[in-house]
């Protein structure tokens, strides 16, 4: 069919172009190594109009393979939907352990090729992972390999077989390498091509040439002799290439910490490779080792286990086991041993050979992973909330925890439909989106927390508390976002109930204080009335003192009345309170204030706490009372009360207020200083102004004007 002339891009830099009929292999130790070769290999096939078939080892590998292709080629989903590439597990194509269906296997491959050609593709590009695992069916494997090679060589197919290096002995690795046109292996971080372009194929060609020459020897013996010489030369070249492959394989064994050994059972002498000496911590080149020498370096607890495995091997049962050794420096190491016995014609064991690999570090990593997995599983099982992981665009990638218990949705529903943003309650969504913008735009690691409401699948509203953090990507990687969600509905309800209880308690306290103050006011009133009947001993000054005390008590009572009517906070609308206080004072001094008019100019929503409201209330009581009693000789005039916010200082979250009480009466004598006044009421005013950290100013023009300035924290305002 002329396969060799149809060059195709392999996608692999160190190989370059290849042609139909090529069968190559790759040895790998990590999934990253595997993807280094397979991803560009298939990408080249897809771009070259080839049908691609990727047969993996296990079901989980299928999704990992798709993810790797997406990272390398964003258009891979187009090829998958188009059907140009299939990624399936080896169980669809290779036999279960102990069974073979050779014809069915090969016919399936040919069927895939015919289907690809019928769909307009140029040919079939194939990869199979670990296709030679069934050791019990070795003869079938060889037969299968020959039939497979024959199909590949004569059809528009190219194949790349991949082998996990740790699963094979040195002998098996050599056997695999010489059965492929190219063999790829990674040394010191660089992929290399092992130079053995089909040793067994050369040998086959030579044998066929000899056979053909033998047939034609009836006509020409000289022609037969020439062909034999040529075949011999080809075999010698093949042997040389085989030795070169063994050298390359030796380097690969060193990288994988694999040593090889042979035991002459008759002489009890062991031969070790250099890597075996390194594993046991010995100096390479030591001769005369015996079976008993090795047993001394086995871990005491594992000697019987290893000895029994060797005994079984001597009866024809190869072993492949993990055990411990004690190296020459006393360090405990973990190794994987493989061995098999060679028998003579009388079925007597004469030699044993095998490999030994140091798997200490790998075992530690595996144990650490198992421990981490156990801890993670324990955490998830005992975690009562939800754990999130999000991509750089804050789309859910990972959700675990009590998802259904909290939201009613399954993990798959939240991820596939990107539903979390959709279940945030609309009133809380702006705050939630603001949080997302902040964390997305943060350039450094960012941490925060937020409480908001969600609407569950059953339409119930729940409160949740989210703790989130941003982990910036390193070395070009994308940012990572993580968060945990906990259901705090009951806690919020309990808190709200406590607030209601506290509000009710405060209102009850204010109510009782107001009632008690009113009782005190009534007692003062009764006492003043009692004194008024004893004219011989009672003076107007005593009655006035009772009245003033009563007014002060009432001013405080009004404050608690307003607090009782409020929303249970410790703040009250001071403007509303001033209006009631002034009206109460006018009523109290009604006999001397019939023609006095009261003018109020009060700031709206001026909310003060008790520490500010009580002293200011008493100050207003004193100053307005003084005006009503002393300012107006003709018992008529104006009293003005003005409360206003002068300015707001955002840095300290405080406002400067001014309280002005003025009248147009006769005024205070110019010789009277506010600091030295003897009036008890004015002395009390000075003391109370200091109590609110305020300042007082007295003007004596066109009557009397008191101006008091003070700062109020805006936090006292409800809401």
- List, for residues 636-655, the tens digit of each pLDDT value: 788 999 999 999 888 888 99
Higher pLDDT, 75 or 285: 75
Higher pLDDT, 124 or 345: 124
Higher pLDDT, 219 or 375: 375
Q: How far is the C-alpha of 170 from the C-alpha of 253, rounded, in Å?
A: 8
Query: Once rounded to an integer, what is the mean pLDDT over residues 710-716?
Result: 79
Higher pLDDT, 231 or 185: 185
Yes or no: say if 10 and 17 are a contact pair by the CB < 8 Å rule: yes
- The tokens for 525 are 């009133």
pLDDT tens figures, 437-447: 887 777 767 77
The DSSP call for residue 627 is I
Q: Distance of CA 648 to CAs 461, 644, 690, 696, 716, Å?
A: 39, 12, 21, 20, 14
The DSSP call for residue 297 is T
DSSP string, 71-88: HH-TTHHHHHHHTSEEEE
User: Given a cut of 90, is residue 482 above it in pLDDT?
Assistant: no
Higher pLDDT, 355 or 498: 355
Query: Once rounded to an integer, what is the mean pLDDT over residues 258-277?
Result: 84
Percentage of the chain exceeding pLDDT 90: 12
- The tokens for 661 are 């009480």
Lowest mean pLDDT among 45-54, 115-124, 523-532: 523-532
Q: How far is the C-alpha of 145 from the C-alpha of 256, rounded, in Å?
A: 27
State the burial class of residue 499 (Cβ atoms within 10 Å of its Cβ: 0-12, 13-18, 19+): exposed
pLDDT given at position 210 = 36
Query: Once rounded to an integer, what is the mean pLDDT over residues 358-366?
Result: 83
Q: Distance of CA 563 to CAs 110, 506, 568, 603, 610, Å?
A: 91, 9, 7, 18, 9
User: Given a cut of 50, is residue 706 above it in pLDDT?
Assistant: yes
User: Given a cut of 60, is residue 243 above it in pLDDT?
Assistant: no
**Nearest-CA neighbor of 511 among 521, 503, 500?**
503
**Helix or strand or coil: residue 323?**
strand
Q: How far is the C-alpha of 63 from the C-alpha of 71, rounded, in Å?
A: 12
Yes or no: say if 367 and 322 are a contact pair by the CB < 8 Å rule: no
Q: Distance of CA 659 to CAs 58, 603, 608, 693, Å?
A: 83, 10, 13, 14
The mean of the pLDDT values for the chain is 76
Higher pLDDT, 387 or 564: 387
Output the CA angle 341-343-347, nearest 5 degrees: 130
The count of C-alpha atoms lying within 13 angstroms of the C-alpha of 350, restricted to the half-sphere facing its C-beta, is 7
> For the whole model, what pTM was predicted?
0.34
User: Given a cut of 90, is residue 211 above it in pLDDT?
Assistant: no
Lowest mean pLDDT among 280-289, 423-432, 492-501, 655-664: 280-289
pLDDT given at position 520 = 62
Q: Distance of CA 326 to CAs 168, 255, 297, 340, 540, Å?
A: 24, 21, 5, 23, 112
User: Given a cut of 50, is residue 310 above it in pLDDT?
Assistant: yes
Q: How far is the C-alpha of 464 from the C-alpha of 498, rounded, in Å?
A: 19
Torsion sign, CA atoms 149, 151, 152, 154? positive
């Amino acid at each position: 069919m002329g396969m060799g002339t149809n060059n195709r891009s392999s996608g692999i830099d160190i190989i370059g172009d290849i042609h139909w009929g090529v069968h190559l292999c790759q040895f790998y130790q990590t999934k990253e190594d595997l993807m280094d070769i397979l991803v560009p290999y298939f990408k080249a096939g897809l771009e070259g109009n080839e049908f691609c078939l990727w047969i993996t080892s296990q079901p989980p590998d299928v999704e990992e393979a798709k993810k790797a292709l997406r990272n390398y080629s964003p258009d891979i989903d187009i090829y998958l939907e188009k059907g140009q590439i299939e990624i399936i597990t080896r169980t669809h194509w290779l036999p279960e352990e102990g069974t073979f269906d050779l014809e069915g296997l090969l016919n399936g491959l040919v069927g895939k090729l015919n289907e690809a050609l019928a769909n307009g593709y140029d040919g079939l590009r194939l990869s199979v992972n670990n296709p030679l695992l069934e050791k019990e069916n070795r003869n079938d494997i060889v037969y299968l390999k020959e039939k497979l090679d024959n199909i590949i060589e004569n059809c528009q197919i190219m194949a790349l077989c991949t082998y996990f290096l740790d699963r094979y002995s040195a002998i098996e690795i050599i056997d695999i390498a010489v059965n492929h046109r190219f063999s790829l292996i990674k040394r010191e971080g660089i992929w290399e091509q092992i130079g053995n372009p089909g040793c067994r194929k050369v040998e086959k060609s030579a044998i066929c040439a000899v056979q053909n020459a033998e047939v034609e020897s009836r006509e020409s013996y000289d022609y037969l002799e020439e062909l034999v010489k040529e075949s011999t030369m080809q075999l010698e070249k093949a042997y040389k290439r085989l030795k070169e492959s063994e050298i390359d394989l030796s380097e690969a064994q060193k990288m994988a910490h694999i040593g090889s050994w042979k035991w002459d059972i008759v002489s009890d002498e062991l031969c070790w490779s250099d890597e075996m000496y390194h594993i046991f911590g010995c100096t390479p080149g030591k001769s005369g080792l015996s079976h008993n020498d090795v047993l001394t370096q086995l871990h005491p607890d594992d000697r019987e286990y290893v000895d029994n495995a060797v005994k079984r091997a001597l009866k024809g049962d190869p072993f492949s086991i993990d055990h411990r050794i004690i190296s020459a420096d006393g360090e405990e190491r973990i190794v994987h041993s493989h061995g098999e016995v060679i028998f003579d014609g009388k079925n007597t064991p004469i030699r044993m050979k095998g490999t030994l690999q140091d798997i200490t570090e790998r075992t530690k990593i595996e144990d650490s992973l198992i421990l981490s997995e156990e801890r993670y599983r324990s955490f998830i099982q005992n975690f009562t909330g939800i754990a999130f992981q999000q991509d750089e665009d804050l789309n859910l990638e990972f959700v675990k925890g009590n998802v259904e218990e909290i939201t009613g949705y399954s993990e798959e529903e939240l991820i596939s439909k990107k539903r979390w943003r959709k279940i945030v309650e609309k009133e809380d969504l702006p705050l939630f989106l603001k949080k997302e913008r902040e964390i997305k735009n943060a350039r450094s690691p960012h941490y925060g927390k937020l409480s908001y409401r969600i609407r569950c699948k059953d339409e119930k509203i729940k409160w949740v508390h989210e703790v989130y953090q941003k982990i910036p990507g390193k070395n070009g990687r994308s940012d990572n976002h993580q968060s945990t969600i906990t259901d705090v509905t009951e806690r919020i309800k309990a808190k709200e109930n406590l607030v209601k209880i506290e509000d009710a308690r405060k209102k009850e306290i204010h109510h009782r204080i107001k009632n008690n103050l009113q009782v005190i006011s009534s007692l003062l009133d009764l006492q003043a009335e009692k004194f008024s009947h004893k004219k011989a001993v009672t003076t107007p000054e005593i009655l006035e003192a009772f009245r003033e005390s009563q007014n002060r008590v009432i001013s405080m009572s009004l404050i608690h009345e307003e607090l009782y009517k409020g929303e249970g906070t410790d703040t009250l609308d001071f403007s509303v309170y001033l209006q009631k206080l002034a009206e109460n004072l006018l009523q109290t001094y009604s006999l001397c204030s019939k023609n006095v008019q009261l003018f109020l100019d009060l700031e709206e929503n001026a909310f003060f706490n008790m520490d500010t409201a009580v002293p200011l209330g008493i100050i207003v009581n004193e100053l307005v009372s003084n005006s009503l009693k002393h300012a107006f000789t003709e018992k008529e005039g104006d009293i003005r009360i003005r409360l206003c916010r002068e300015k707001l200082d955002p840095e300290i979250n405080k406002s400067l207020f001014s309280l002005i009480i003025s009248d147009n009466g006769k005024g205070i004598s110019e010789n009277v200083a506010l600091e030295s006044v003897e009036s008890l009421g004015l002395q009390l005013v000075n003391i109370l102004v200091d109590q609110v950290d305020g300042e007082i100013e007295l003007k004596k023009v066109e009557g009397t004007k008191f101006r008091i300035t003070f700062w109020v924290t805006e936090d006292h305002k409800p809401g």
